Chains A and B, each alone.
Chain A
Amino acid sequence: MSNTRTETSNVLVRFLKTKGSIVIFIVFWLCASLFVDNFFSLDNNLLIIKQAAIPVICCLGITVVLMTGGIDLSLGYTIGLSSIVVGIFVKTLHMPIPLSILLTLLVGLLVGIMNGVIIQVLKVPAFITTLGTGYVIYGLAQIVSSGSNINRLPANFRVVGVTPIGGLNTTVLIALCCCVLFYYLLHMSTYGRSLQAFGFNPNAAKMSGIDTPLLNISVYVLCSVCAALAGVLLTIRVNCAQPTMGNDMTFEVITSAILGGASLFGGIGTVIGSVFGVLSLKIIENCINLLNVSYYTYQAIQSIIIMLAIIFENVKNRKL
């Protein structure tokens, strides 16, 4: 029947629309393997995964925010704040490691509640709110650190993130756990379904009995806790707590999420997409290192990618 052909093409279109990030990843990876010397080696590929682990955690957080149609520009500054805070806890105050990490995540939670409440209750647009709170958080990190870094962190703290597991390390494992958790939240529980409805049509979601205010605050909390966790792991990786750490990561993870198919207009976002979005971007960064090109090129490429991704989305939704 004539339907079968349209059916197959529909399946293909559907696959490209939903799993496009995997296709992009494969294309990037194949191109890099073919054209960039030293890319195609096990060690290099494991390195990419290790480098991707921390951005993946942040990217999952920003994905849930993007799904509501919001944005969190304070993410990078939250990483810096949690870095210096955890540094003070473990080095200066000699607090037990589990407690230090837990308290740091609590700081992230408070940042998230602050963002969420300002956006939901006081109705300030997410863009302005998080731009503003971002600078507050940045200032706060500078104040508590007096502008200086904390070096040589205790070994029993570093164990949490750098213990090797067959070529990879515990940071990758933690990121993987986050992926599982977010996969459950977004794709198996009612939370994800509510989030999708809220992102597409907040009025209809509210009228269908979804607790939209709580939902809207919860995404910023999730995002900031992810940022705090990323801050802890990043501190472990570089063995130094810095108040300015991760400040440039906001744009990178938003780009990754968009590349992974998340929509800036809300409603769309997947865990698998975001993970492959980060991996694709990390391949580019890796190639730029291998080719000895200036790091600033990477930043420019990021901007081009985010715009191309949005243009592609507009084409996909037949807006262009």
Chain B
Amino acid sequence: MTDTAWIDAALTSARPQAVGALLRYFRNLDTAEEAFQNACLRALKSWPQNGPPRDPAAWLIMVGRNVAIDDIRRSRKQEALPEDAAISDLDDAEEQLAERLDGSHYRDDILRLLFICCHPDLPATQQIALALRIVSGLSVKQIARAFLVSEAAMEQRITRAKARVADASVPFETPGAVERTERLSAVAAMIYLIFNEGYSASGDTAEIRSPLCEEAIRLARLLLRLFQSEPEIMGLTALLLLQHARSAARFDVDGAVILLDDQDRLLWNKGLIAEGLALIDKAVRHRRSGPYQIQAAIAALHARAEKPEETDWTQIDLLYGALEIMQPSPVVTLNRAVAVSKVRGPQAALDMIEPLEARLSNYFHFFGVRGAFLMQLGRNDEARTAFDRAIALANTSAEAAHIRMHLDRLQRDSQPRGKKAK
């Protein structure tokens, strides 16, 4: 890597810890961010000459804090400041600070920073944008691109979110055990949202949006390092890794969705799968199940099957059953029905989803799945009606294109035999 590449990587990985600590000192997001930016500028000057500090985060916190305090003093006294010399000899200071950055402070600093972004008053899209800007340090331009909106619109969204967060009171004292657990679960949900924002992309935008998935994985890993014994955080991280592992196989060259059964499994990322499986394995030992772990276990069963026909659908059906009890939702039942169709056939699956229609009457996947079951049962006219409805409800062109493929197949099948042979 070039000189600046290693510095960039070090600044990126130190960011959550450094901004989190600076926020604890200054109790103001803007001041903390500005202090971090200033520290980065000094790092770009100092590190290439002096080499990387032993603890980059501690260096950035110390320098950021000094510069910000100087700024505050200067604005009060309007006096000239001592130049860089005052902060050039940081060795001792760094050592002291590194000692003070004990595990618990460090954990709670980062958790607080993430938690601020999940403020319940903020709509999900603002939470995500704020986290990507503040915690991940992505530029407004990068975030706007991933969200497929203009830079100005994203700038405004982030500014609004920040203003709302600034008005809210965020507790700065060390959280108690219950509060810490609550924060952790809010933050996990937000990380999952970031991932979904990238994962639900259609084929033509998948590449632009995949940084969102990568960033979510980075944040999940960070959270897991801070909370090493939380099985649900292991589950969340595993789930994201296992889903992201399939990204290269999810769309065809025209950007149409390729379903799991039809994906080229050689394109799946084996490294991510290995890591995901290892994390599930670790989580299971805690015998404290949860929604992320179950979803990850389902993804793991798919990942373990080298061919679609080797998939353990019976186990997947059982896992969805457990998820239905834990987190009842028509969408979970719909997913379970797909497993049921493989284990007990399309009629049993269809019976299972019929009662859901009232609640899923505007849900693309409901009609796509229903159409597929009807088609398997040979009820082609009804299947066509369901597919038409699905196309009308499709969120992306890729979804619509996928359903049209089914319709084309129905069309072919219904033609006279003589013609079909051609």
> Real complex partners, A and B?
no
Chain B residues in the interface with A (C-beta under 8 A): none
Chain A residues in the interface with B (C-beta under 8 A): none
